[in-house]
């Protein structure tokens, strides 16, 4: 039996269905079919086959504006179970229409909009070329579609060129035209250009609207230019505009994203008092900000305020709350929120379940995660690819590869693509970085189960893992495994092995591997040289290190400032101070641009050879090189000045630190106290112990241990105990013998 024509199924509705304003007037059946088409499209039950059949039936008798209305509806339709891609279907139907009817300028505008939503400006431009050949008169709507297409795709220069072109054709831009370009420029952080276009807009007699200002506020806020955002909000009134809730929400969202929750709350409070009244997005923005900070008290207060002000939470609000408690492992609270959602008439969605399942997997509660997975299926929520990935990763991380394999097969059977090698590599990398390299290696079987093969990144992660746990034999054997599956090692592979050998004290093996690299296809990189040089200097193999550094220079490879830093530091470490000075003089002659690390090495070397004045001059000269002393620089200076008993100069350096980006930290102050105590400078040590108290810093365990040994009942400085701040005189009577 042949399938009944779709329009006949709708015929019964023609007496009751109200015709849409855009539907054809001359054929009742067309009106009924058109109304049914829109109703099913909006309800998400119109599939592509039904749409094609109806469209074909309307073609002989319906006017162009009816087709345009259908195409426009499809172009704007959200994805549904029946039709996953409305814009793509609209493009297909346009091609059917093109063969049997004449598209209008409006039809082409809808088609261009479809390509814009699909982020395919190139295809839209091809349609534009065809449109020019039809002889149809272009209008501002078509240009706006193109300009918006290019702006959203980040090609703002092309959008601006179209603005120029349309003016030359006598087509005057409107507020939508300028808003699209300003929005694109603001999202590209090109705020100067955005202001220039705004000025052109005003000069053209077009009044900016709230959307114009919203784009500008977004651009300035996301660039951290808060004063400019405030200026715009305040300046809107001079343009006859009142900031709306979207303007305020945009500013609040940017502030929260940059951790400026207090300023965001100030705007929120102003909205409550003066308007515009906060909406659910305003509340959810603040909630997300407090959730990111982990500020539960403020989180609860905003939730209570929502209820008091009659704002109904949405899925985003509930999911934000679920996420913050799930990340803290407060699963009892998470389950209560899920229950509360259902009572409020909000069934948890796939995002809600993803948050809960992910938290259970992180905690190793895999049975609970699987129970939630089963529950979501039972209530009709189809798991997406992200849910499967969460479960597979959770089972891999906790060693249940059998279940991980079962879940992988299940997702493939459901029509999802298998997890990629990149996905598995991220799991292997996480496992190996925490020393669980055996579990990481087992995942290669799972990769094979999906019909894929491991790549060089897979093996590099495993080699790195074996090096981390000191299993260098297993790490080296992986080179043979790579060869057996046709995967070529890269420079990172060998650099990882080099680093592993050096860190595990197998310097001879490192040298052998490095020499092999010189005779093989894999050419050592600057990173390779840095790794072997650092390892050799650390092990005291100074002669070999100097030889390799000389070979590096002779090879013509560009020597980076990092390499010079490693060599200078290594020579210094191995008491080759004269060679340090010679190399530094050579670098000065070469006009090498130094960094703070090199200066730290130079200053240390000068102190080491007794050239203290030159060390101080170098410290003072850093600013002339555009450099700022860091905490290590200050530590080098202070340590050496204490060794020379230059305590007044130490005080001066510490005072100068207070006004910089590197004030004295706990580690430095504790180090100073220990050095002074060991030198018997109790009064000086007392001053710095007081500084530690003022800053609210605690003494480190090594400092406390030294105090006990020096000031206990049989301590070396027992008699000077009263010189310490009162809170440290607790050692009186302590006997550590």
Among 19-28, 151-160, 497-506, which is the least confidently predicted range? Answer: 19-28
Res 269 pLDDT > 80: yes
Under the banding of pLDDT at 50, 70 and 90, the label for residue 29 is low
Instruction: Give the per-residue pLDDT at 236.
Output: 83
Do 648 and 573 fall into the same domain? yes
Which string of DSSP letters, residue by residue, matches 172-185? ---HHHHHHHHHHH
In 3D space, the residue among 121, 130, 191 whose CA is nearest the CA of residue 159 turns out to be: 121
The answer to the question of residue 358 being in a domain is no
Instruction: Give the per-residue pLDDT at 731.
Output: 54
Do 657 and 568 fall into the same domain? yes
Domain boundary among 664, 693, 721: 664
Res 303 pLDDT > 50: yes
In three state form, how does the secondary structure of 450-465 look? CCCCCCHHHHHHHHHH
Q: What is the mean pLDDT of residues 529-546?
A: 92
Helix H or strand E segment including 713: none
Under the banding of pLDDT at 50, 70 and 90, the label for residue 725 is confident
Q: What is the mean pLDDT of residues 80-97?
A: 75
Q: How far is CA 605 from CA 207, 358, 519, 617, 662, in A?
A: 66, 53, 37, 13, 23
Q: How many residues does the chain have?
A: 737
Helix H or strand E segment including 521: none
Report DSSP state, residue 625: G
Cα separation, 444 vs 442, in Å, equals 5
Tens digit of each residue's pLDDT (9 = 90 or more) over 472-507: 999 999 999 999 999 999 889 999 999 999 999 999
Cα separation, 732 vs 737, in Å, equals 14
Mean model confidence pLDDT for the chain:
84
Domain boundary among 664, 698, 727: 664
Res 204 pLDDT > 50: yes
The answer to the question of residue 311 being in a domain is no
What is the SS3 assignment for 612? helix
Res 405 pLDDT > 90: yes
Cα separation, 245 vs 241, in Å, equals 12
What is the SS3 assignment for 200? helix
Tens digit of each residue's pLDDT (9 = 90 or more) over 418-443: 999 999 999 999 999 989 999 999 99
Tens digit of each residue's pLDDT (9 = 90 or more) over 676-691: 988 888 888 888 888 8
The answer to the question of residue 640 being in a domain is yes
Instruction: Give the per-residue pLDDT at 122.
Output: 66
pTM of the complete model: 0.65
Do 644 and 711 fall into the same domain? no
Do 726 and 653 fall into the same domain? no
Report DSSP state, residue 697: P
Do 638 and 586 fall into the same domain? yes
Instruction: Give the per-residue pLDDT at 20.
Output: 40
Instruction: Tokens for 4, please give them.
Output: 């009944």
CATH code of 569's domain: 1.25.40.10
Cα separation, 313 vs 311, in Å, equals 6
Instruction: Give the per-residue pLDDT at 100.
Output: 62
Which string of DSSP letters, residue by residue, matches 399-437? T-HHHHHHHHHHHHHTTPPPPPHHHHHHHHHHHHHTT-H
In 3D space, the residue among 599, 608, 600 whose CA is nearest the CA of residue 576 turns out to be: 608
- Give the dihedral of Cα atoms 265, 266, 269, 271; nearest 10 deg: -100
Q: Which residue is listed with tokens 């899920």? A: 338
Do 574 and 658 fall into the same domain? yes
Cα separation, 284 vs 295, in Å, equals 14
Q: What is the mean pLDDT of residues 261-279?
A: 89
Instruction: Give the per-residue pLDDT at 536.
Output: 93
Instruction: Tokens for 360, please give them.
Output: 């259970």
Res 1 pLDDT > 80: no
Do 717 and 658 fall into the same domain? no
Tens digit of each residue's pLDDT (9 = 90 or more) over 66-81: 777 777 777 777 777 6
The answer to the question of residue 696 being in a domain is yes
In 3D space, the residue among 619, 648, 651 whose CA is nearest the CA of residue 632 turns out to be: 619
Tens digit of each residue's pLDDT (9 = 90 or more) over 325-356: 998 889 999 999 988 888 888 889 999 999 99
What are the φ and ψ backbone dihedral angles of 311, each rounded to 5 degrees? Answer: -90, 120
Instruction: Tokens for 43, please give them.
Output: 């309800």
Instruction: Give the per-residue pLDDT at 373.
Output: 96
The answer to the question of residue 144 being in a domain is no
701: buried, middle or exposed (CB in 10 Å: 19+, 13-18, 0-12)? exposed
Query: Percent of the chain scored above 70 by pLDDT?
Result: 91
Do 590 and 625 fall into the same domain? yes
2: left (phi over 0), alpha (psi -120 to 50) or beta: beta
Domain boundary among 664, 694, 714: 664
Cα separation, 542 vs 678, in Å, equals 32
The answer to the question of residue 636 being in a domain is yes
Of 187 and 78, the structure prediction assigns the larger pLDDT to 187
Do 690 and 660 fall into the same domain? no
The answer to the question of residue 133 being in a domain is no
Of 136 and 25, the structure prediction assigns the larger pLDDT to 136
Instruction: Tokens for 157, please give them.
Output: 């220069």
Report DSSP state, residue 79: P
Cα separation, 506 vs 124, in Å, equals 62
Instruction: Give the per-residue pLDDT at 473.
Output: 94
Q: What is the mean pLDDT of residues 652-666?
A: 85
Do 646 and 689 fall into the same domain? no
What is the SS3 assignment for 82? coil
The answer to the question of residue 348 being in a domain is no
Contact 270, 252 (CB under 8 A): no
Number of domains, the chain:
2
Cα separation, 709 vs 703, in Å, equals 10
Contact 529, 517 (CB under 8 A): no
Helix H or strand E segment including 392: helix 385-397
Do 658 and 698 fall into the same domain? no
Report DSSP state, residue 551: H
Range of 31-45, 141-155, 526-540 with top mean pLDDT = 526-540
> Residue 707 sits in which domain range?
685-737
Contact 584, 552 (CB under 8 A): no
Contact 334, 356 (CB under 8 A): yes
Contact 183, 215 (CB under 8 A): yes
Tens digit of each residue's pLDDT (9 = 90 or more) over 444-473: 989 988 999 999 999 999 999 999 999 999
In 3D space, the residue among 429, 434, 437, 430 whose CA is nearest the CA of residue 461 turns out to be: 429
Tens digit of each residue's pLDDT (9 = 90 or more) over 101-133: 677 888 877 777 777 776 676 676 677 777 777
Which residues have C-beta within 8 Å of that of residue 13, sequence separation ≥ 6? 32, 35, 36
Contact 566, 537 (CB under 8 A): yes
CA atoms lying within 13 Å on the CB side of residue 599: 25
């Amino acid at each position: 039996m042949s399938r009944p024509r779709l329009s006949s199924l709708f015929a019964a509705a023609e007496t009751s269905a109200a015709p849409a304003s855009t539907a054809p007037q001359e054929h009742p059946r067309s009106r009924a079919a058109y109304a049914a088409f829109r109703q099913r499209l909006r309800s998400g039950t119109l599939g592509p086959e039904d749409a094609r059949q109806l469209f074909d039936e309307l073609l002989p008798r319906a006017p162009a504006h009816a087709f345009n209305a259908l195409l426009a509806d499809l172009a704007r339709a959200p994805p549904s179970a029946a039709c996953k891609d409305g814009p793509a279907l609209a493009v297909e139907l346009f091609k059917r229409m093109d063969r049997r009817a004449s598209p209008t300028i409006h039809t082409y505008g809808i088609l261009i909009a479809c390509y814009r939503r699909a982020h395919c400006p190139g295809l839209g431009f091809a349609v534009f070329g065809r449109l020019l050949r039809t002889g149809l008169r272009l209008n501002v709507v078509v240009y706006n579609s193109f300009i918006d297409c290019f702006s959203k795709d980040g090609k703002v220069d092309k959008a601006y060129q179209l603005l120029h072109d349309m003016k030359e054709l006598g087509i005057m831009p409107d507020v939508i035209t300028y808003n699209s370009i300003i929005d694109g420029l603001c999202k590209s952080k090109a705020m100067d250009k955005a202001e220039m276009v705004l000025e052109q807009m005003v000069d053209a007699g077009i009044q900016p609207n709230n959307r114009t200002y919203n784009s500008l506020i977004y651009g300035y806020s996301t660039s951290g230019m808060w004063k400019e955002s405030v200026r715009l909000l305040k300046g809107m009134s001079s343009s006859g505009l009142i900031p709306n809730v979207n303007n305020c929400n945009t500013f609040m969202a940017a502030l929260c994203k940059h951790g400026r929750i207090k300023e965001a709350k100030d705007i929120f409070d102003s909205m409550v008092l003066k308007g515009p009244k906060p909406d659910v997005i305003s509340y959810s923005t603040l909630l997300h900000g407090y959730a990111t900070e982990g500020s539960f008290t403020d989180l609860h207060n905003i939730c209570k305020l929502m209820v008091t002000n009659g704002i109904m939470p949405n899925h985003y609000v509930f999911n934000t709350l679920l996420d913050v408690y799930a990340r803290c492992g407060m699963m009892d609270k998470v389950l209560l929120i899920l229950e509360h959602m259902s009572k409020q008439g909000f069934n948890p969605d796939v995002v809600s379940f993803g948050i809960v399942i992910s938290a259970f997997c992180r905690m190793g509660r895999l049975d609970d995660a699987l129970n939630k997975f089963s529950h979501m299926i039972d209530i009709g929520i189809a798991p997406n690819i992200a849910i499967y990935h969460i479960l597979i990763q959770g089972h891999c991380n906790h060693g249940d590869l059998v279940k991980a394999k079962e879940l992988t097969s299940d997702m493939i059977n459901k029509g999802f693509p298998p997890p990629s090698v990149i996905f598995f590599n991220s799991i292997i990398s996480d496992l190996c970085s925490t020393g669980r390299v055996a579990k990481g290696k087992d995942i290669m079987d799972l990769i094979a189960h999906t019909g894929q093969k491991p790549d060089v990144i897979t093996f590099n992660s495993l080699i790195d893992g074996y090096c981390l746990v000191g299993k260098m034999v297993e790490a080296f054997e992986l080179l043979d495994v790579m060869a057996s599956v046709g995967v070529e090692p890269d420079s990172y592979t060998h650099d990882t092995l080099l680093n592993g050998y050096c860190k595990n004290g197998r310097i001879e093996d490192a040298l052998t591997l490095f020499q092999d690299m010189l005779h093989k296809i894999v050419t050592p990189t600057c990173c390779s040289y840095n790794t072997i040089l650092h390892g050799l200097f650390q092990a005291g193999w100074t002669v070999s290190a100097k030889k390799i550094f000389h070979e590096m220079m002779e090879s013509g490879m560009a020597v980076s400032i990092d390499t010079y830093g490693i060599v200078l530091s290594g020579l210094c470490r191995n008491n080759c101070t004269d060679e340090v000075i010679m190399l530094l003089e050579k670098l000065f002659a070469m006009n090498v641009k130094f960094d703070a690390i090199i200066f730290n090495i130079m200053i240390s070397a000068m102190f080491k050879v007794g050239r203290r004045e030159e060390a101080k001059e170098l410290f003072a000269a850093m600013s002339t090189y555009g450099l700022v002393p860091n905490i290590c620089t200050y530590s080098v200076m202070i340590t050496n000045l204490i060794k020379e008993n230059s305590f007044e100069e130490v005080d001066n350096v510490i005072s100068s630190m207070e006004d910089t980006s590197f004030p004295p930290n706990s580690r430095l102050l504790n180090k100073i106290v220990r050095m002074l105590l060991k030198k018997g400078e109790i009064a000086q040590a007392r001053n710095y112990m007081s500084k530690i108290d003022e800053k609210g810093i605690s003494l480190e365990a090594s400092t406390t241990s030294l105090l006990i040994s020096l000031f206990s009942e049989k301590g070396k400085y027992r008699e000077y105990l009263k010189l310490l701040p009162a809170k440290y005189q607790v050692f009186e009577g302590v006997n550590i013998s």
